[in-house]
Amino acid sequence: MPTRVRKAVFPVAGLGTRLLPATKTIPKEMITIVDRPLIQYAVDEAREAGIEQLIFVTGRGKSALVDYFDVGFELEATLRDKGKSLDVLDPSNARFGEVVSVRQQVPLGLGHAVWCARDIVGDEPFAVLLPDELMFGQPGCLAQMVEAYDKVGGNLVAALEVPESETHKYGVIDPGASDGRLTEIKGLVEKPAPGTAPSNLMLPGRYILQPEVMRALDAQEKGAGGEIQLTDAMAKLIGQQPLHAFRFEGERYDCGGADGFVIANIAMALKRQDVGPAVKAFLSTAKARGAV
């Protein structure tokens, strides 16, 4: 059995420019999907997969993210005085020592963000979750990946098919042999030029990686967009360690921009028993009016 994955890195230093003006003062990851900040979904997914340590790679203006997982003493006291339940706060209350944060002082790329957590990760496998990508599955994406990882070990990345016209926006896999939901990876390209992608299987931002990837990142080599890319560091491990793509079963919502955020809000609201019926009724009326 491979070494258990206990730590997860959340790269959350980005400026979220596609969501300005909101992100002028609110970290993108704190914008809500229904009534929870986006980060809560990724953290819930990690905890469900057995992750015990949440490592946030943050930057200036992102303190609200770390504060969110702290205890809200005044808030709790006020709720208690009013006889209100504190249960709603449960997911945001971290266990003692569960949250660790480190700064990425300069935006040098995703690979660099992950590398900033190298000393906290140490010499064990770890997960990386990009919170912009809201993954909905039962169980969640990372839990599905951990189950597959227990069988194959090595490095594992989630993979999803996208239309060929979109591959230039992502990390893309050159696939080898498949076995069920697992596919061997022969090569990886970050943001291939249109028409040059080796497949339409993209990386939607969920990874289980061996610590050796940090050694590959030590070189700080720049790739697509002049940034230090995680995709390139993983590609360097091909031939040295197993690297598989895992086609996860579920839905993916890209919350990097306003359209994706609105769509994710509607999709997640419809799944909820409390707010779902009202949203569904609104959509039906809008459809009847011809607005949809």
Q: Which is nearer to ligand G1P, 17 or 78 (CB)?
A: 17
Q: Which is nearer to ligand G1P, 15 or 283 (CB)?
A: 15
**Location of structure tokens 């809500």:** 32
In whole angstroms, give the CA distance from residue 61 to residue 124: 30
Minimum distance of ligand G1P from residue 167's CB (angstroms): 9
Minimum distance of ligand G1P from residue 86's CB (angstroms): 35
How far is the CA of 151 from the CAs of 52, 156, 170, 229, in angstroms? 21, 11, 27, 27
In whole angstroms, give the CA distance from residue 104 to residue 72: 26
| Rg over CA atoms, the chain | 20
Q: Which is nearer to ligand G1P, 107 or 122 (CB)?
A: 107
Residue 189 contacts residue 171 (beta carbons within 8 Å): yes
The SS3 call for residue 181 is coil
Q: At what angle do helices 141-152 and 38-48 cross, to 10 degrees?
A: 30
Q: Which is nearer to ligand G1P, 50 or 257 (CB)?
A: 257
Minimum distance of ligand G1P from residue 205's CB (angstroms): 4
- Binding test (CB under 6 A) with ligand G1P, winner from 9, 99, 117, 130: 130
Q: Which is nearer to ligand G1P, 51 or 162 (CB)?
A: 162
Tokens, residue 113 = 């963000």
Contact pattern for ligand G1P over residues 220 through 249, marking x by CB under 6 A? ---------xxx------------------
Q: Does 133 bind ligand G1P (CB under 6 A)?
A: yes
Q: Which is nearer to ligand G1P, 36 or 191 (CB)?
A: 191
Q: In terms of Cα–Cα distance, which of 141, 155, 151 is closest to 48?
A: 141
Q: Which is nearer to ligand G1P, 13 or 110 (CB)?
A: 110
Minimum distance of ligand G1P from residue 232's CB (angstroms): 9
In whole angstroms, give the CA distance from residue 183 to residue 186: 9
In whole angstroms, give the CA distance from residue 217 to residue 138: 33
| 10 beta partners | 56
In whole angstroms, give the CA distance from residue 47 to residue 97: 14
Minimum distance of ligand G1P from residue 186's CB (angstroms): 17
Minimum distance of ligand G1P from residue 184's CB (angstroms): 18
Size of the residue set binding ligand G1P (CB under 6 A): 13
Tokens, residue 125 = 């496998």
Q: Which residue is nearest to ligand G1P (CB)?
A: 171
| Other residues' Cβ atoms within 10 Å of the Cβ of residue 180 | 8
Q: Which is nearer to ligand G1P, 30 or 233 (CB)?
A: 233
Minimum distance of ligand G1P from residue 229's CB (angstroms): 6
Q: Which of residues 152-211 bind ligand G1P (CB under 6 A)?
A: 170-171, 190, 202-205
- What does the binding site for ligand G1P look like in residue numbers (CB under 6 A)? 110, 130, 133, 170-171, 190, 202-205, 229-231
